[in-house]
């Protein structure tokens, strides 16, 4: 039952009607008997400033930020976490009414890393990660994986974008990443431990598309797709046929949500709660 003490959370984006965050977070509040509610808000670019300051004025506890506002929201934040600074994008906002601050974080990269670590049962140190993509999500995963001492190779349809990320990493972290092109794609895939699709290829409605064909997928690797609709993408189906261990995009979604909950509520999210969040998301995806 809502009352004047109910903590209010939400996600802002455009479009937003298919967001899975409300069911995922509401499942946690119900399980943990937390007096809180979570809503999805469709916010246009022109209203972004008003939306952030309005939420602040209404004493919201926190917001998630999704496409297309993860970068433009930086203008309205007055403190930013180290990780969000590196990634140059914010997906989680905490309103701190003691210090009077709007604080920006990015949990996408950590969410992906936690999803991989859970599935591998070990850390990423020294692991060779091959990433398809150089967009916002790829960037978050790349920076977080480097912070966890993994080695990174990047392949992107538009090679120049991968090169730009590589240059930035050299400048900001003094680390090297490999930029992969068509001529060395197969060798680099064979040489990697973990292969991640961080592009939107294979996302609904283009469910018959895979970022690479079956003959390019090496046998027995760890393969992750961050696309979560459908839960089992074409890429993951093909990877299973090559005896790979697969990790779906719902895991990343759930772990990044868990990181947001830690930031907002200092909530320790155990594997039981992760399971409850995953179940809520999967049920919603199946219903849609
Ligand atoms: P983005 O910034 O728009 O980047 C899109 C990426 O996909 C770029 O690298 C782009 O390559 C590539 N791409 C798009 N269409 C392509 C095609 N037909 N062939 C080859 N490459 C193509 O998007 P984003 O925010 O990074 O999101 C990417 C995907 O991750 C989306 O499906 C999103 O839903 C998902 N995601 C999942 C989670 C999760 O928690 N599981 C979190 C965030 C995002 P170019 O540079 O060449 O255009």
- Summarize the confidence of residues 27-54 as an average pLDDT: 98
Comparing CA positions, the residue from 107, 100, 127, 106 lying closest to residue 116 is 127
Predicted TM-score (pTM) of the model is 0.96
Does residue 136 register a pLDDT over 80? yes
Does residue 288 register a pLDDT over 90? no
| Res 249: pLDDT | 97
User: Can you read off the two tokens belonging to residue 89?
Assistant: 């994008």
Per DSSP bridges, beta strands 178-179 and 245-247 are unpaired
Q: How far is the CA of 176 from the centre of ligand 1 (A)?
A: 23
Does residue 158 register a pLDDT over 80? yes
What does pLDDT average to over the chain?
96
The side-by-side arrangement of strands in the sheet containing 79-80 is: 36-42, 7-13, 62-65, 92-96, 101-105, 79-80
What's the pLDDT tens digit per position in 178-216? 999 999 999 999 999 999 999 999 999 999 999 999 999
Q: How far is the CA of 201 from the centre of ligand 1 (A)?
A: 7
Residue with CA nearest ligand 1 atom 8: 135
Q: Give the binding-site residues of ligand 1, using a 6 Å CB cut-off.
A: 67, 108, 111, 133-138, 156-158, 161, 199-201, 203, 226-228, 249, 252-253, 256
Instruction: Provide the sign of the torsion angle of the four alpha carbons 118, 120, 126, 130, taken in this order.
Output: negative
Which numbered atom of ligand 1 lies nearest the CA of 209? 18
Does residue 1 register a pLDDT over 80? no
Residue with CA nearest ligand 1 atom 13: 199
| Res 135: pLDDT | 92
Residue with CA nearest ligand 1 atom 32: 200
Q: Are 69 and 51 in contact (CB under 8 A)?
A: no
What's the pLDDT tens digit per position in 49-79? 999 999 999 999 999 999 999 999 999 999 9
Domain architecture of the chain: domains with CATH? 7-106+251-287 (3.40.50.10860), 109-247 (3.40.50.720)
| Res 171: pLDDT | 95
Q: Which residues contact 97 (CB under 8 A, 6 or more apart)?
A: 59
What's the pLDDT tens digit per position in 235-256? 999 999 999 999 999 999 999 9
- Summarize the confidence of residues 141-170 as an average pLDDT: 97
Q: Are 65 and 92 in contact (CB under 8 A)?
A: yes
Does residue 122 register a pLDDT over 90? no
* Residues labelled as active-site residues: 70
């Amino acid at each position: 039952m809502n009352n004047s003490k109910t903590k209010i959370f939400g996600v802002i984006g455009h479009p937003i009607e298919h967001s899975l965050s409300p069911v995922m977070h509401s499942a946690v509040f119900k399980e943990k008997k937390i007096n809180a509610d979570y809503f999805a808000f469709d916010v246009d670019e022109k209203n972004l400033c008003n939306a952030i300051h309005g939420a602040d004025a209404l004493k919201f506890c926190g917001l998630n930020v999704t496409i297309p506002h993860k970068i433009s929201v930086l203008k309205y934040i007055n403190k930013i976490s180290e990780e969000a600074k590196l990634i140059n994008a914010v997906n989680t906002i905490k309103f701190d009414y003691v210090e009077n601050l709007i604080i920006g974080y990015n949990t996408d990269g950590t969410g992906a890393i936690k999803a991989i670590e859970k599935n591998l049962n070990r850390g990423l140190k020294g692991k060779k990660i091959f990433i398809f993509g150089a967009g916002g999500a790829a960037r978050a995963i790349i920076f977080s994986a480097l912070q966890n001492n993994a080695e990174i190779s990047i392949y992107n349809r538009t090679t120049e974008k991968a090169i730009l990320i590589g240059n930035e990493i050299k400048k900001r972290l003094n680390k090297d990443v490999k930029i992969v092109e068509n001529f060395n794609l197969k060798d680099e895939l064979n040489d990697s431990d973990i292969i991640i699709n961080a592009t939107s290829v294979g996302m609904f409605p283009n469910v018959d598309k895979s970022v690479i064909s079956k003959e390019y997928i090496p046998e027995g690797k760890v393969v992750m797709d961050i696309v979560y609709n459908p839960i089992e993408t074409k890429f993951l189906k093909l990877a299973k046929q090559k005896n790979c261990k697969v990790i779906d995009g719902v895991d990343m979604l759930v772990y990044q949500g868990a990181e947001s909950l830690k930031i907002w509520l200092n909530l320790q999210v155990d594997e039981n709660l992760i399971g409850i969040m995953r179940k809520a998301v999967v049920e919603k995806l199946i219903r849609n």
